Amino acid sequence: MVGTETKKARLLREVGVRKWYDQIREKSYASAEVELRRLSRFCDLNHVTPTLLAWQSKKKSEAMLGDTVTVLEKRGSSPGYVLGIVKATKSWLDHNGKGIDRTIRVPNAGVPALLGKEGIPLQRDIEEILGECDSRGKVAVSLLAYSGLRIESLGNTEGSDGLVLGDLPDLNLSDLAFRSALARVIVRSPLSKEHHDYFSYLNGRGCRYLTNYLKERKADGEELVPRSPVIRATGRKAASKLVPEAKKETPFVSAATVSDMIRRAIQKSSSYRGKPTALRLYFGAQTLAAENSGQILRSFRTFFMGRKGELERRYAHGRNTFPPDLMEQMAKDYARASECFVLSPAEVEMKESIKALEDKSNMSVKELETRIAEAQKETIIALVQGLGYPRSMYVFFRGIVKDRDGSTPVHAELAKTVVDAFAGHYRQQAASRREKRATR
């Protein structure tokens, strides 16, 4: 049985389409795929082929583009989607010497379509997302939210390249430890959207997640070398069904796999419902706040996000041309700005305690007591206050004090502190009620 020819294969057989596609693919495979789909969409809407479109007059192509914008706008298509189709079509016409000089206006083209629906994640959202991730997912989230990397830097579209351990110069592979509290993360030009080398940093928390993940891989028998991927594929689910070379065995994870991994964690979290790419916006928002408070220079912030700016122009050719004193200043600025990335230790312990209490039905009393004993007394008191002194928690802690559950003296002492806090709260409530009755 002869297989059915795909739409992509038919398009690439059109005169000149393969050459146009390959020229775009030299810069970015993902861009080539998107441009081809957009050109195909335009041709379907106007019942033409790419070849016929290239042969017709400029005037007719201009009119066709204008009509397409009007039709898509009436259908409710987003301005970004319409503008993408216009750009792809004009690129194809330019390739065939039929470029359109007149500007095809798309209403509201500069307004993000999801601005009102998808906000930038907050600290608590990042905490919840991390709580739903496995060790591999925590590393991916950290590199996006704490280092500002793009998903394609962790693994490209084809799954043939990605961030490797050699891109972490501060990592000692022999004992899987970092030489400093901050780790420099180098993004090579093939993994950069702007096609230039740059670097960012990973904070202490992200470094801990990474070392834990690498230790798990080493315990499973993997030999970690500088060429080993930072995030390894866990089974060769093809990165893209359209790329034959991506179907072979490769240790690199694909951008689609990273997105799916983070998206699943986002869907499990209770509050945030944005895209995986929004985690990078978290880095941008936090560093912008740090810039406004004078903690980090704008040029450093722009460079860490992989954008071309003053530093990239001045030190245009590589990561090794930065003077040592400038590198030191960049690390210090990142360290100050990164204080905004994570919750304080007390807040983190409170989150963990809340999760333990919420999961009480799935935990034994001993396990729950152990989680509580690990938290500081101040954290438990803050937790009780934040929850509004619920009666169920009072009964639970009072049972520990009376040793109804066979708790240890350490647990009982901690529980007694909480019960005393409840007692003080109840006394205040009683005094308040007496005052109200006296004023009547």
Structure confidence by residue, pLDDT tens digits, 234-249: 865 444 444 444 444 5
Predicted confidence (pLDDT) at residue 1 exceeds the cutoff of 50 = no
- Using CA atoms, how far apart are residues 100 and 308, in angstroms rounded to an integer? 29
Confidence of residue 263 (pLDDT cuts 50, 70, 90): very high
The stretch 5-18 carries a mean pLDDT of 88
The H or E element containing residue 171 is strand 171-172
Beta carbons of 147 and 185 less than 8 angstroms apart: yes
Better-predicted residue by pLDDT, 387 or 175: 175
Please determine, for residue 398, whether its predicted confidence score (pLDDT) is greater than 80. Answer: no
Out of 91-100, 310-319, 321-330, 385-394, which region has the weakest mean confidence (pLDDT)?
A: 310-319
> Residue 305 and residue 198: Cα distance in Å, rounded?
9
pLDDT of residue 354: 53
Residue 93 is predicted with a pLDDT of: 92
What is the bridge-based pairing of β-strands 177-178 and 183-187?
unpaired
Per residue in 102-149, pLDDT (tens digit) is 888 888 776 655 544 567 888 888 988 998 999 999 999 999 999 999
118 phi-psi bin (left φ>0, alpha ψ -120 to 50, beta other):
beta
Question: Taking residues 66-83, what's their average pLDDT?
Answer: 89
Residue bearing the bigger pLDDT, 83 or 384: 83
Residue 262's pLDDT is 94
pLDDT of residue 223: 92
pLDDT, mean over the chain: 81
Q: Of 197-206, 278-287, 308-317, which range is least confident? A: 308-317
More confident: 340 or 285: 285
pLDDT for 352 beyond 60: no
Q: What is the pLDDT of residue 319?
A: 47
Please check the confidence at residue 261 and state whether its pLDDT lies above 90: yes
Q: What gap in Å lies between CA 398 and CA 422, rounded to an integer?
A: 10
**Whole-angstrom distance, CA of residue 426 vs CA of residue 420:** 10
Q: Which of 78, 77, 99, 74 is nearest to 89 (CA)?
A: 99
Q: Report phi then psi at 65, rounded to 5.
A: -65, -45
Residue 29 is predicted with a pLDDT of 82
How sure is the predictor about 78, in pLDDT bands with cuts at 50, 70 and 90?
confident
User: For residue 131, which of 358, 362, 380, 389 has the smallest C-alpha distance?
Assistant: 358
What's the Cα-to-Cα distance from 30 to each of 33, 121, 188, rounded to whole Å? 5, 26, 18
Helical spans, DSSP H, in 293-323: 298-304, 310-314
Neighbours of 438 (CB within 10 A): 7
Give the per-residue pLDDT at 350.
Answer: 53
Percent of residues, the chain, with pLDDT higher than 90: 37
Average pLDDT for 387-415:
62
- The yes-or-no verdict on residue 206 having pLDDT over 80 is yes
Q: What CA–CA distance (Å, rounded) separates 72 from 68?
A: 6
pLDDT of residue 241: 44
Average pLDDT for 317-321: 52
- The pLDDT value recorded for residue 112 is 59
Sorted by where each starts, the structural domains of the chain and their CATH numbers stand as 7-95 (no CATH), 123-340 (1.10.443.10), 345-439 (no CATH)
Mean pLDDT within 40-49: 93
Contacts with 241 (C-beta within 8 Å, 6 or more apart), sequence order: none
C-alpha dihedral, 143 to 146 to 149 to 150, nearest 10°: 80
Q: What pLDDT does 107 receive?
A: 80
Q: What is the pLDDT of residue 314?
A: 60
- pLDDT of residue 167 exceeding 70, the answer is yes
Euclidean distance between CA atoms 276 and 261, whole angstroms:
9
DSSP state, residue 186: E
Bigger pLDDT: 2 vs 103: 103
> If you compute the radius of gyration of the chain from its CA atoms, what whole number of angstroms results?
28
